[in-house]
Amino acid sequence: MPAAANTLSVLEPPPMPAAPGAAVVPHPVVVAHPAAPALAAAATRAAAEDVHTQRADSRRRRELMARVLAPLFGMALFVAIWAAIAQQGSIPGPLKTWQAAVQVFSDPFYTNGPNDQGIGWKIGGSLSRVGIGFGIAALIGIPLGFLIGRFMFLRNMAEPVISLLRPVSPLAWLPIGLLVFKGAHPAAIWTIFISSIWPMIINTAVGVQRVPQDYLNVARVLSLSEWKVFTKILFPAVLPYMLTGVRLSMGVAWLVIVAAEMLTGGVGLGFWVWDEWNNLKVENILIAIIVIGVIGLALEQMLLLLAKRWQYD
Amino acid sequence: MDHYLKIENVGMTFETRKGPFVALRDIDLAIRQGEFVTLIGHSGCGKSTLLNLITGLNIPTAGYLFLSGRQIAGPGPDRGVVFQNHSLLPWLTCFENVYLAVERVFGGNETKARLIERTRHALELVHLTDAADKRPQEISGGMKQRVGIARALAMEPKVLLMDEPFGALDALTRARLQDELMRIVDETHSTVVMVTHDVDEAVLLADRVVMMTNGPAATIGEILEVDLPRPRDRLQLANDPTYMRLRKAVLEFLYQKQLKAAA
């Protein structure tokens, strides 16, 4: 197959221009070629490069489509369906909602008495309830997870209680909170606390149990103290699991706060939804839904970023 | 100190779901201070189990082990261990990995400056001064294993225990690390017990090669004295009649005497 052999050999790169003074070793295959095949070869090579750039171009186009255009297209379709449904008349369309939103966000921090405050205060109110309830849950849940993961007796003790309480709907805890804390505000925080503690306990405990035996063998061979084992091996090894638990908990907390605030009232996004339902200002309900979604997304992304920082492999 | 590390009539039986499994039986071995012993055998022959018994990670179900006159009752920093898969902590730098061990052993009565110096010296010994501040996932497999050796040696252990330390490395890296290990052992006069499945490695490094029979109920089959002068050079040994005879003896043990038993 002389032709095939030629094509193959001429596809080899041409010798590099030699640096001054460097010994030039001619490429035997290229030199041995008569002129005609060499020209054909150049053409073939140009064609080949062309194919390569074309391929690269189309790959870039596909990536652009997947990364940017597809999400944009999805959002556009979503808005279109929304607009179509709004035509039926029961809910306001995107345009009306947008105009209402411009108005709502034009003065985010006004205060007109305890029940009429700007969107900024509402977001702040919801976030602070979530922050406090979730913060206490983390302070208790994470150490508890470590203990449950480390000691089998505690694990066996806690397992039935956790399995029993975890599937309970968050709002079922609200009356207990109202009863014990004698106030709507602490009851909402209590509800956040009790519903967001489980993922942190469970993920931390699982993380502790999954610490690679190799690392624990290092600890045993060095006979490290319990404190050193905790700070140098256990905690860093569990951290990725713990952060997953934190992320799941935060998701739950943010889901629950809206429902809890609907029932407890006060300044917050949840009560706002309920309030505007009573006022029949549906466009504000839609704004609230979008704001809740955006904040939930932002919290999730923030925690994902944080988790990436502690990935070791 | 003729019996620096003494293994007396040791047996190890694991309780499994299918009933007791006899991994080791009737192991008797005395290792001198400064001696380099390699344990070789087919996989599943319990050589790693024996090493774990010396480490103290497992306690034998029969017999006793003594290290410089004291019975081994659990793991302790007087035995430096180099693990098969390096077992470096990925969230610590190479320096910090070694420092953790140094601090454990000498932290009680030495200044911090001295501990840092010890750590630096250990990394220097394995030629890793430049990689001190890198994390394990940023360096090659051979370098990781060298950090593991540095960590074990920095503790100035009575005995260095190595569980197939070079098994996961490519042949060239393995050869280089073997040469380095011989140099380090010459410098530090360490007592070493190394598990290996590599015949050349077993003969090249050892003063004695302990050959183990196939499991279950494995025990010591034969012990081969390697009376080659040190320092040893792998290129010269390649044609050395003594080396070739010893190598052949190990091969015969593994592939004639023990393979039949296994089949």
Chain A environment of B147 (Cβ under 8 Å)? none
Both tokens of B82, joined, read 């180099």
Q: What are phi and psi of B227, to 5 degrees?
A: -95, 50
Nearest chain B residue (CA) to A217? B57
* Kind of pairing between the strands at B192-196 and B159-163: parallel
A207-229 residue pLDDT tens = 999 999 889 999 999 989 889 99
Query: Which of A221, A237, A312 lies closest to B81 in CB terms?
Result: A221
Count of Cβ atoms closer than 10 Å to residue B132 Cβ: 19
A59-86 residue pLDDT tens = 888 888 788 888 999 999 999 999 999 9
- The span from the CA of A31 to the CA of A13, in Å, is 12
pTM exceeds 0.90, yes or no: no
Chain B environment of A222 (Cβ under 8 Å)? 77, 100-101, 104, 155
Nearest chain B residue (CA) to A310? B91
B185-222 residue pLDDT tens = 988 889 999 999 899 999 999 999 999 998 788 899 99
Straight-line distance from the first to the last Cα atom of chain B, in angstroms, rounded to the nearest whole number: 41
Pair B157, B77: CB distance under 8 Å: yes
Q: What integer best gives the mean pLDDT of chain A?
A: 84
Query: Which of A218, A224, A237 lies closest to B87 in CB terms?
Result: A218
**Domain layout of chain B by residue ranges:** 1-78+187-263
Query: Which of A223, A237, A313 lies closest to B75 in CB terms?
Result: A223
Measure the CA angle with vertex A97, ends A92 and A98; round to 5°. 150
Tell me how close the Cα of B68 comes to any Cα of chain A, in angstroms: 18
**Which class for B176: exposed (0-12), middle (13-18), buried (19 or more C-beta within 10 A)?**
middle
Chain A environment of B87 (Cβ under 8 Å)? 214-215, 217-218
| B101 at interface of A, judged by CB pairs closer than 8 A | yes
| B57 at interface of A, judged by CB pairs closer than 8 A | yes
The model's confidence at residue A35, banded by pLDDT at 50, 70 and 90, is: low
User: Does residue A26 register a pLDDT over 70?
Assistant: no
Nearest chain B residue (CA) to A238? B91
**CATH number of the structural domain B1-78+187-263:** 3.40.50.300
B102-125 residue pLDDT tens = 999 999 889 999 999 999 999 998
Residues of chain A whose beta carbon is less than 8 angstroms from a beta carbon of chain B are 214-215, 217-218, 220-224, 228, 232-233, 236-237, 312-313
The whole-number average pLDDT for the span A172-201 is 93
User: Does residue A31 register a pLDDT over 70?
Assistant: no
B40-65 residue pLDDT tens = 998 878 888 999 999 999 999 999 99
Chain B environment of A232 (Cβ under 8 Å)? 89, 92, 100
CB-CB under 8 Å, B77 with A217: no
Q: Which residue has the tokens 């804390």?
A: A181
Interface test with B, best of A221, A235, A243 (most B CBs within 10 A): A221
Tell me how close the Cα of B107 comes to any Cα of chain A, in angstroms: 12
CB-CB under 8 Å, B91 with A224: no
Query: Which of A215, A220, A222 lies closest to B101 in CB terms?
Result: A222
Secondary structure, 3-state, chain A: CHHHHHHHHHCCCCCCCCCCCCCCCCCHHHHHCCHHHHHHHHHHHHHHHHHHHHHHHHHHHHHHHHHHHHHHHHHHHHHHHHHHHHHCCCCCCHHHHHHHHHHHHHCCCCECCCCCECHHHHHHHHHHHHHHHHHHHHHHHHHHHHHHHHCHHHHHHHHHHHHHHCCCCHHHHHHHHHHHHCCHHHHHHHHHHHHHHHHHHHHHHHHHHCCCHHHHHHHHHHCCCHHHHHHHHHHHHHHHHHHHHHHHHHHHHHHHHHHHHHHHCCCCHHHHHHHHHHHCCHHHHHHHHHHHHHHHHHHHHHHHHHHHHCCCC
Pair B24, B219: CB distance under 8 Å: yes
